[in-house]
Amino acid sequence: MRRKVTNSPLSSVSEQLPRRRQFLQRLTFGLCLVLVSWLVFNTITLLSVSSKQTDAFFVLGGSIRREIYVAQLAKQYPQTPILISRGSPDPCIWLIFQRQALQRMQNVWLEKCADSTFGNFYYSIPILRRWGVHKVKLITSPTHFPRAKWMAQILFGVHGIWVEPDIVQEQGVPGNKESWLKTGLDVTRSLLWAGFSPIIQPQCSNITRLTEVNMNFWQNQGFQCERQGQIWE
């Protein structure tokens, strides 16, 4: 009399392992294929917009010299929107642009949620995307440039925004101190965030159009600007 052979739990598990391994391999291959395809497409997009006209000026706060420079640029390109991320006090920026006798101050926006260079990009990306920006002129200073360039190329590049640096010379002692450790940490954080930024859109509730700055309030309140800006109340 023959006994009926039944599969033991151990043999069943051993049969499932190759299938799971095969599924994981296919999943990994599929994800890599999607990632490579996206990188190729994004690179082609970036190269195609690199030779086009600048869509916006993006100023990293840290020195009033940068805001003086972009105000001078605004006279040449009055139609180009300007985003100043965590720059000088609002009345100082207002007086800088007024000094240039600009008629289109409504194209200038002040973002004041950022508290670091990473935050400058973190909060500005959704704004630039709403504006339909594909090429941005990044305005910063020499000491800040290496770290800012890497972060901009990573965080803006993942959204198909080409970065054109524009360096403004500083006067006196720079306000920011750079180091390889600081740069490495910020670049690493940018790489990690780049994967999530297309689906997570941080919102900044503290954005002001330059024309909305209440100078009467500030004149009563009192304010101070960097000396090299040569602005007095």
Q: What is the mean pLDDT of residues 21-42?
A: 56
Name which residue leads in pLDDT, 199 or 16: 199
Structure confidence at residue 34 as a pLDDT band (50, 70, 90): very low
Q: Is 94 part of any domain? A: yes
Name the residue range of residue 198's domain: 52-221
Most confident of 10-24, 37-51, 75-89: 75-89
Average pLDDT, the chain: 82
Interatomic CA distance for residues 207 and 215, integer angstroms: 17
Q: What is the mean pLDDT of residues 112-121?
A: 93
Query: Which pLDDT tens digit goes with each residue over 179-228?
Result: 788 888 898 998 888 888 778 878 898 999 999 999 999 999 989 898 88
Cβ–Cβ < 8 Å for 176, 144: yes
Query: Which pLDDT tens digit goes with each residue over 156-187?
Result: 988 889 999 999 988 765 555 677 888 888 98
Structural domain total, the chain: 1
Q: Is 177 part of any domain? A: yes
pLDDT at 38: 44
Structure confidence at residue 100 as a pLDDT band (50, 70, 90): confident
Q: Is 131 part of any domain? A: yes
Cβ–Cβ < 8 Å for 153, 187: no
pTM: predicted TM-score of the whole model, two decimal places:
0.79
Q: Is 27 part of any domain? A: no
CATH number for position 56: 3.40.50.620
Classify 145 as helix, strand or coil: helix
Q: Is 138 part of any domain? A: yes
Q: Is 193 part of any domain? A: yes
Interatomic CA distance for residues 4 and 14, integer angstroms: 21
Question: For residue 33, is pLDDT > 60?
Answer: no
Q: Is 98 part of any domain? A: yes
Cβ–Cβ < 8 Å for 93, 225: no
Q: What is the mean pLDDT of residues 77-99?
A: 94
Question: For residue 232, is pLDDT > 60?
Answer: yes
